[in-house]
Amino acid sequence: MLTFERSGWEVTGNTFWGACLEFFDSLLRGIGQVMFQNNSYTGLLFLLGIACNSWLFAAAALVGAASSTAAAVALGAPREQVRSGMFGFNGVLVAIALLYFLTPSPLTWSCVVVAAAGSSVLMAALMELFKRWQLPVLTAPFVLTSLGFFLATARFGRLQSTQMLPTAGLPKSTLVEGVVTQTTVWEGTLNGVAQVFFQGSLLTGALFCAGLLLSSRSSAVLALFGALIGVVVAWGMGAAEPAIRAGAFGFNSALTMLAVGGVFLHTSRRSVFYAAFAAALAAVVHAALSAALAPLGMPAMTSAFVVVTWIFVLAARGFSGLRPSA
């Protein structure tokens, strides 16, 4: 029997189609978990947002979620974690990233399947490593697995990168480039939300916000506010206007604001200030990590969000003014 709930659906009884339906519900929750939403309708709206911009990436998202979730099931991961999409979100992002930065070919698609499955092993490893601090793994498996496959292109002749991958070069200081206008700010904010899934599209950003609204109003507000902070910090520090407008300084701050302000700490006025400080630093850390990866020609992806959120969640334990969420 199929029951519909606020956050997705549940099947009782043990039929083949029931199992398929449950698996599909887990995949959608995996897509939703990219922005911390254990909600398959939100996942569906995120998927729709991606498909609006590119069918290829929507297909990749599903393949990645399926591969990483199936690997977790095959190895015997705890059922409730699989069902809540915890073994899906890294696979989703790995798959989109590999097709964004590598030219599509049968080998690349095989790599997508293998890398997404590998991200589930890394997820389980980091969960085990962080258990004692109750520290969330976040998208670290996605970042590390993707970087591994991108770096391997320097040794493997059949794995070819697209022009999206930056050329390796030594970092050097830069000058202010372009003029930031009101359009830059609001496009940068909305694109920032869209860039969480590597999508540079205002419509996609809007659909992602709709997906967030569906499951949690405060999440949508925090994500947009976080992206805005990232844009404003980057503007003040003199980042290049095209990069700001494309959302390059928005996605890490959006995710950090969401994680620190809405998910892992008990919400209070102080915790929102704390999260805003984290979101501001995430923009600086993103600039730093992207420069640090320049000699390798590698993208920093969501590494700034991961690092800053780890630091702010851990630190909150030592501060009496902040409490972890129940």
Binding to its own copies, residues 94-133 (CB under 8 A) = 107, 114, 117-118, 121-129, 132-133
Neighbour tally for 74: CB within 10 Å:
10
Widest pairwise Cα distance in the chain: 63
Q: Could you give the CA distance from residue 323 to residue 143 in angstroms, rounded to a whole number?
A: 28
Would you give the binding string for its own copies spanning residues 13-32, x where CB under 8 A is met? Answer: --------------------
- Nearest distance from C-beta of residue 14 to its own copies, angstroms: 19
**In which residue are the tokens 């499955």 written?**
117
Q: Which of residues 32-91 bind its own copies (CB under 8 A)?
A: 74-78
Cβ closest to its own copies, residue 55 vs residue 156: 156
* CB atoms inside a 10 Å sphere around CB 246: 18
> What is the DSSP secondary-structure string of 107-162?
HHHHHHHHHHHHHHHHHHHHHHHHGGGT---TTHHHHHHHHHHHHHTTT-TT--B-
Smallest distance, Å, CB 12 to its own copies?
23
Six-digit token string for 153: 């292109």
Instruction: Please give the residues from 162 up to 221 whose contact with its own copies meets the rule CB under 8 A.
Output: 167-177
Three-state secondary structure call for residue 91: helix
Report if residue 2 touches its own copies, rule: CB under 8 A.
Answer: no
| Residue 242 in contact with its own copies, rule: CB under 8 A | no
Residue of the chain from 285, 301, 302, 306 that contacts its own copies (CB under 8 A): 285
Which stretch, 12-20, 197-205, 214-222, 229-237, contacts its own copies (CB under 8 A)? 229-237
Region 262-281 residues binding its own copies, contact defined as CB under 8 A: 270, 274, 277, 280-281
- Residues of span 287-316 touching its own copies by CB under 8 A: 287-292, 294-297, 310-312, 314-315
DSSP assigned state of 255: H
Two tokens, residue 284: 């600086």
